[in-house]
Structure 1
């Protein structure tokens, strides 16, 4: 599943990450992230996978389109209450 620009922005917001933080974590240029999130460009599939992988590693769960729209949420903490 690809991620869209809205999911990327929402995922960063859930984590409290700036574009700089996502760029450092994913090894994707900040300009690429900014252009993607603003709708100016769609990154290559590999770049989208890098962004998604980085956000998922930080605890974001991507929710596919299911009639109510694609979305994001934070994963439940493991082993805790």
Structure 2
């Protein structure tokens, strides 16, 4: 389970606002703010949803170990930029199967 500090750090790393995290996760923005500020600990399910949402956005949570808790990006900035370019290419979504010859 992630901490409020990890949540805040992950948002910064993946460059999404608290408002966007609220929209993507379905969790109230005030709940996220109170969690990040260590004013309130939401339900385990709520924290799990925030974690999953941030992971889908590109964060990797590092469990507590020798070096403590942490967060890192799933991709380097260069990889993320290339993925973004590829995803923006557009076009119609279609079946990838090639017809038999």
TM-score when scaled to structure 2?
0.73
Ranges of 4+ aligned residues in structure 1 off by more than 3 Å: none
Distance 2:35 2:13 in 1: 18
Greater Rg over alpha carbons, structure: 2
Whether 1:36 aligns to 2:35 is yes
5+ residue gaps in structure 1? none
Secondary structure of the residue aligned to 2:71 is strand
Q: CA deviation at 1:17?
A: 1.1
- CA shift digits 1:41-72 (9 cap, x unpaired): 00100000110010001111000001211010
Distance 1:22 1:67 in 2: 30
Q: How does 1:2-81 map to 2 (within 5 A)?
A: 2-76=1-75, 77=79
Q: CA deviation at 1:22?
A: 0.6
**Which structure carries more relative contact order (alpha carbon 8 Å, separation 6+)?**
1
5+ residue gaps in structure 2? 83-101
RMSD: 1.5
- CA shift digits 1:5-59 (9 cap, x unpaired): 1100000000111110110111000010000011110010000011001000111
